[in-house]
Structure 1
């Protein structure tokens, strides 16, 4: 194991700090649509739509209008935003880990493939997201993990690279992209394992 103590810790958001279930959104949208829950899930999961939205290539209005056209959703954008974005709940042990790092003076960054409707909801309902030293969000930088662009933005904004960066994410392909850049990265599977890894790196 490397002896270099990282200078910053980079957190993925979904399935690391916040759990979520898109089936909640699909069910709510289906209740106000001509489409079934399964059909709504197929629309939301379609890479030609969600990836374009989360990579910033389309905005919330175009995303909403496309979902409405494909499902027959009968509500307005405000109702859709609630149905679509209110699907999260905190993973409290990991929220506590980030708070502890902050108490120890270790910079933490949020690094997430996401969209503006989700982040608007998250910022309103989960105050801990305001306690990061910085954020890199896919829709803002117009690049999605594991593409190099997001990683390059984080390195530029933080002024750190290689083993100076500790990074945890639940998706192996995103972690591998960090490892390829020399980051000290690992697949997050549960709070205790990640807490132990951070302790081994001298951060907790």
Structure 2
């Protein structure tokens, strides 16, 4: 059994509401208010940002579209985009889980909705090649979760049958899509909970 990790919200911090409260305090007084602003900015990863996630449009066009759609000043939209790499801070408890799985001899991969500029940043900043046996970024394959095509592409690239893959993701729709294609999948809430599930499945020792 191979274990496949999502990145945002699993290996790296990604909480748009509190992120926007930090970056845009003049527009977002707190994380609660940030929920609505995040929905408008990221469109639940559809629309403009979804096309950016899939590598169908570049950064400049994405920001132009968001500014035109929302009426927010273009330089403020740019401020959010520029701050994303800082938001993607490493979750050290998940790193410990990855290291435990590798020590147990498990093969690991990643499958992440990630625009190409941020994928480049993660590859430059973190030892992904040491942690994983390969992975797929949406921005490089022009597909994204929860679409079936990216799961099928990932399974082929990993050289594994769907039933040989256990996927950890923090979005229910992505977990459901993986299961519908024959993958095993867990909804990730935190590393401790994921560790318990992996022990229960015999992938880690207690």
Band the TM-score falls in, shorter-chain normalisation = 0.7 to 0.9
Q: What is the correspondence of 1:22-101 to structure 2 with a 5 Å cutoff?
A: 22-23=16-17, 26=20, 30=24, 36-37=27-28, 41=38, 43-46=40-43, 47-67=46-66, 69=68, 70-74=71-75, 81-101=81-101
State the distance in 2 between where 1:97 and 1:12 align.
13
Q: Work out which structure has the larger RCO, using CA pairs closer than 8 Å and 6 or more positions apart in sequence.
A: 1
State the distance in 2 between where 1:105 and 1:177 align.
27
Which residue of structure 1 lines up, in the alignment, with residue 123 of structure 2?
A: 123
Q: What is the correspondence of 1:126-141 to structure 2 with a 5 Å cutoff?
A: 127-130=126-129, 131-141=131-141
| CA gap 1:194/1:23 in 2 versus in 1, 3 angstroms | closer
Secondary structure in structure 2 of the residue aligned to 1:89: coil
Which residue of structure 2 lines up, in the alignment, with residue 11 of structure 1?
A: 5
State the distance in 2 between where 1:173 and 1:43 align.
19
Calculate the TM-score normalised by the size of structure 1.
0.80
Shift of residue 105 of structure 1?
Answer: 2.8
Deviates more, 1:106-115 or 1:35-44: 35-44
Secondary structure in structure 2 of the residue aligned to 1:13: coil
Calculate the TM-score normalised by the size of structure 2.
0.79
Deviates more, 1:162-171 or 1:116-125: 116-125
Which residue of structure 1 lines up, in the alignment, with residue 144 of structure 2?
A: 144
State the distance in 2 between where 1:97 and 1:55 align.
28
CA contact (8 A) 1:10 1:109 kept: yes
| CA gap 1:21/1:91 in 2 versus in 1, 3 angstroms | same
How many residues get paired?
193
Deviates more, 1:143-152 or 1:177-186: 177-186
Gaps of 5+ in 2: 29-33
Instruction: Say what the alpha-carbon RMSD is for the aligned residues.
Output: 2.7
| CA gap 1:179/1:58 in 2 versus in 1, 3 angstroms | same
Gaps of 5+ in 1: 1-5
